[in-house]
A and B are shown apart, each in its own frame.
Chain A
């Protein structure tokens, strides 16, 4: 199974900050990488698919990049509603579909 490792596990930032979250795969997954946002008590929501494609309706301050084993999710200017937990997921070699352990983004 492909292992997904996110860093950092948690992050404190302020409104307006630029934030980057990293996801690393245990083997090359090309661009088969998706990002989800989850707020407390809510279901995950798709943000980015195929490493860099923005899901319809997602603000343009979110962007994704990378290929192979290393990927990043960037929020260009944090907004209050962005404080949440973010997960990466590989869809290259399934089953199983595997997720990173999550990155909790907190208000500084």
Chain B
């Protein structure tokens, strides 16, 4: 069964840091790009960023709202992706989901599956 499990969420003060993990199983993690998407309470889905596979040079990309503050990495030996969040703001409060990119960048592609999400609360 293809599965993603996030962890690492919690309460952090504004300006603080937090690192989320996304543990994958049931598929060839090393060959897959991984994305992070967040959702503030009662709001819609917001793409955060992604990391491609080794074959694609581990290329990363970020939403404008988090660029320069968030960093996505991966450890293929552990089948895990990470989201390092620095200089956190109250508006970063959300449930953070990791999801697998399926398809190809120059062809049809989609997100499947999604993890269960982990809640990050930025508050003093």
List residues of A whose CB falls within 8 A of some B CB: 31-32, 34, 36, 42-46, 49-50, 55, 87, 89, 91, 94-102
**Helix, strand, loop or mixed for chain A's interface?**
loop
Assuming the contacts A43-B97, A44-B97, A99-B44, asked whether A89 and B108 have C-beta atoms less than 8 A apart, the reply is no
Q: Are B61 and A95 in contact (CB under 8 A)?
A: yes
Contact indicator A46/B111 (Cβ below 8 Å): yes
Scoring B35, B108, B112 by chain A CB atoms within 10 A of each residue's CB, the highest score goes to B108
A89 to B116, CA, bound (A): 19
Residue on B with the closest CB to A95?
B61
A91 proximity list for chain B (CB < 8 A)? 103, 108-110
Contact between A32 and B97, CB atoms less than 8 A apart: no
Min CB–CB distance B37 → chain A (angstroms): 8
Chain A residue numbers with a CB within 8 Å of B116 are: 42-43
Mostly, the B contact residues are strand
- B side interface size, CB within 8 A: 27
Residue pairs across A and B with Cβ atoms less than 8 A apart, 9 shown, are A32-B109, A36-B45, A36-B111, A43-B113, A43-B116, A44-B37, A44-B99, A91-B103, A97-B35
Query: With A44-B97, A44-B114 given, is the CB distance from A95 to B108 under 8 Å?
Result: no
Contact of B111 among A50, A89, A101, A102 (CB under 8 A): A89
Q: Is the CB of A101 within 8 A of B108?
A: no
Which residues does chain A contribute within 8 Å of B63, judged by CB atoms? 95-96
Contact of A45 among B62, B109, B114 (CB under 8 A): B114
- Min Cβ gap B123→A in Å is 21
Q: Are B109 and A95 in contact (CB under 8 A)?
A: no
